[in-house]
A = this chain, B = another copy of it.
Amino acid sequence: MNHTDLSNSVIFPRGEKLPEIFSKNFNGQAYLRMLSASGDEWNCPIGNVTFEPGCRNNWHRHPGGQILLVTGGRGWYQEEGSAAQKLRPGNVIRIPANVKHWHGAAKDSWFVHLSIETNCQAGPAEWLEPVSTAEYAKLK
Contacts and interface: CB of A to CB of B under 8 A. Distances in A.
A43 interface: yes
Nearest to A67: B36
Interface of A: 11-13, 35-36, 41-44, 46, 65, 67, 69, 71, 89-90, 92, 94, 96-97, 114, 116, 118-119
Integer count of this chain's copies in the complex: 2
At the interface, is chain A mostly helix, strand, loop or mixed?
Answer: loop
29 contacts: A11-B11, A11-B71, A11-B89, A12-B90, A35-B69, A35-B92, A36-B67, A36-B92, A41-B96, A41-B97, A42-B65, A42-B67, A42-B94, A42-B118, A42-B119, A43-B118, A43-B119, A44-B44, A44-B67, A44-B116, A44-B118, A44-B119, A46-B67, A46-B69, A46-B92, A46-B116, A69-B114, A71-B71, A114-B114
B42 A90 contact: no
